[in-house]
Amino acid sequence: MFTDLAKNSTCVQESKSLKELNSWRVGGVAQYFAAPNSIESLKSVWHWAWARKLKIWVISGGSNILIQDGELKGVVISLHEMRGVDHVKTGDQVIIECCAGTSKSEVAKIFLQNRLAPAVFLTGIPGDMGGGVVMNSGIGENRVPREFGEIVRSIDVLRIDEKTGEFSLNNILNSQIKWEYRHSSDWQPGVIVKVTVGWSHTADMQVPDGVRAQTKKRVSTQPLDLPNCGSVFRNPLGHKSAQLIESCGLKGFRIGGAVVSEKHANFIVNDKGATAGDIDKIIKHIRETVLLKTGVELIPEVAYIGEWD
């Protein structure tokens, strides 16, 4: 097991384009940007921002965020370089410890090698482990496990004391976290720096088939050929957002370079130079139209980064 796998070095850049750091390939320029690769380097960047009273914005895999156009004031901290994973078999569990920026696919691979069920839901969900905890990411299908809340053992959260600038590292157990549909809470404030997941190590020989089926399903139902952010809206209780959007005739609806996907109505794709503003306008239009025509309120799953109206 490790405490901090990555090396300690980081620097703060000025005027960094954020387009390549999110799966929609939109957004403007960060006033300041850093991608620390260890807890110590994260602390030094965060302390630097704190001393200058700059707001910090945390991103990781960038697969569930809408970053504003123009200049994003403050410091964008990407955790994507904080990678590293280790696993052990203890008792009846396989325990995997990872730095928060470790990709889900890397962890899925370990579960798959051991023929363990979490490989199935993790397959095909982009982004990193920390982002997965924040979003309580998962799949709609009724299988066990199907979301992060079922596999997380604990997380390590780094906090800063806003008055003194001192840091504390807090280990938070699964039972102390409130897990809700595509959302987790009660661990904030702070930045998740480590995620420990585990599952019973009884092998299930159906797992490789399950993984293959997940991949096939995603390729056939999602518009993976164009930049997107996965499902834009949460599914309201008793409804599927995609069906509601489609029933309102919104498939193919376009503003600028952003379009409601013809393949999956809960996806908005960047089809030629969309801006974050185009996407936000479509989100607002979908919400208004669906509410008017069906009476159901859609809530975005995507996290807005920056200053928005």
Ligand X SMILES: Cc1cc2nc3c(=O)[nH]c(=O)nc-3n(C[C@H](O)[C@H](O)[C@H](O)COP(=O)(O)OP(=O)(O)OC[C@H]3O[C@@H](n4cnc5c(N)ncnc54)[C@H](O)[C@@H]3O)c2cc1C
Contact between 273 and 263 (Cβ < 8 Å):
no
Query: Which has the closest alpha carbon to 282: 223, 233, 209?
Result: 233
DSSP state of 147: B
* Region from 125-133, 256-264, 271-279, 286-294 binding ligand X, contact rule CB under 6 A: 125-133
134 binds ligand X (CB under 6 A): yes
CA torsion angle 232 233 234 238 (round to 10): -140
Q: Look at residue 137 and give its three-state secondary structure.
A: coil
Q: Binder to ligand X among 49, 116, 229, 244 (CB under 6 A)? A: 229
36 binds ligand X (CB under 6 A): no
* Region from 122-130, 199-207, 256-264, 275-283 binding ligand X, contact rule CB under 6 A: 122-130
Q: Look at strands 29-34 and 65-67 and give their pairing.
A: unpaired
Residue 33 CA to residue 54 CA, distance in Å, equals: 12
> What is the secondary structure of 252-263 as a DSSP string?
T-EETTEEE-SS
Q: Binder to ligand X among 10, 64, 266, 275 (CB under 6 A)? A: 64
Give, in order, the Cα–Cα distances in Å from 302 to each of 7, 72, 155, 252.
31, 18, 22, 20
- Binding residues for ligand X, rule CB under 6 A, total 32
27 binds ligand X (CB under 6 A): no
* Region from 36-44, 53-61, 112-120, 283-291 binding ligand X, contact rule CB under 6 A: 53-61
Contacting ligand X within 241-260 (CB under 6 A):
none
Is 182 annotated as catalytic? yes
Contacting ligand X within 150-189 (CB under 6 A):
182
Judging by beta carbons within 10 Å of its beta carbon (0-12, 13-18, 19+), is residue 3 exposed, middle or buried?
Answer: exposed
Q: Binder to ligand X among 12, 26, 45, 191 (CB under 6 A)? A: 191
Q: Binder to ligand X among 74, 84, 126, 198 (CB under 6 A)? A: 126
192 binds ligand X (CB under 6 A): yes
60 binds ligand X (CB under 6 A): yes
- x/- mask, ligand X, residues 280-309, rule CB under 6 A, reads -----------------------x------
Is 220 annotated as catalytic? no
Contact between 15 and 60 (Cβ < 8 Å):
no
Is 231 annotated as catalytic? yes
28 binds ligand X (CB under 6 A): no
Write down the catalytic residue from 103, 231, 241, 261: 231
Pick between residue 68 and residue 137 the one whose CB is nearest to ligand X.
137
Residue 247 CA to residue 281 CA, distance in Å, equals: 19
Pick between residue 73 and residue 201 the one whose CB is nearest to ligand X.
73
Judging by beta carbons within 10 Å of its beta carbon (0-12, 13-18, 19+), is residue 19 exposed, middle or buried?
Answer: middle
Any idea which residues carry the catalytic annotation?
Answer: 182, 231, 301
